[in-house]
A and B are shown apart, each in its own frame.
Chain A
């Protein structure tokens, strides 16, 4: 089964109410505020090391039975810059958390903090729009 590295649109920044865990070897986030600065419209966006998806996409991932992911609450805000550039209200979002293994489960985060998805998962993402992401075949 083929796997792909997906680099989603970066629509914003980690907001001031984000809480970090700095104790580990890798910087982690325990509470997420995703602050939108602009949005080109994709249903999955990131700000390393966090990924968020629209509720609609999260439901589709669950319905498809894709492995390796769970969903958590995210606080979404819009910066003054975002208010200028984003047209219309934002949809509701969920924090995409990873529970599986990259290149094994349908969704995973590799050691380089890149999103690795199976062909099936890529199909689900593309079905909901992946116009502004960069997708490449995962090596190895």
Chain B
């Protein structure tokens, strides 16, 4: 395959970026999108140019590091996949492909296609955990009976890899789906109920402070999420939030 790439290049967070056009030849349809970018960078290095920076790590859809907005969609065309799981057979020979970083005020560009998603880390630190005493006499988790449906829903929410596709694809750059998944994975389980009120209040507060937009229920996040996190989680978080806001003493 021969392709025209329009890649966002930006020297650093302060520099003004632009789309730069590159031609790339003999790309295998069986190669992954990131392997195609590796080819591009190899060409750039051979030409003595600066390679395009992009995030990646596991390259098997688990780590949530890859974060590209490809041809107008987070993680490119296709559903329930991350950028690293996208293959070149999804494109046509001769096609022009736009490659941009995830855009959000809360995700500032560091360089080229790499954005700073530490806002998600700070939201997690605000309450996305369960305080467990690990002194050596930890209770066996199976001693707490949990309905299968609740366990499944909690697990589904916990599959969120925090890639930020929900923010990137939302017209408001809202992080509600991410925060809702992190709230839900605990809210559904008895272990998470102890800190439930404080968790949802603090995580939502941190989300607002980071500058993410508001959810207007377009549902785009659910469609583009590589893990299929459901909007049910946002409704659950809204219930948790209203309940905590009314009854919490903080």
- Do A and B form a real pair? no
Q: What is B's interface to A at a CB cutoff of 8 Å?
A: none
Q: What is A's interface to B at a CB cutoff of 8 Å?
A: none
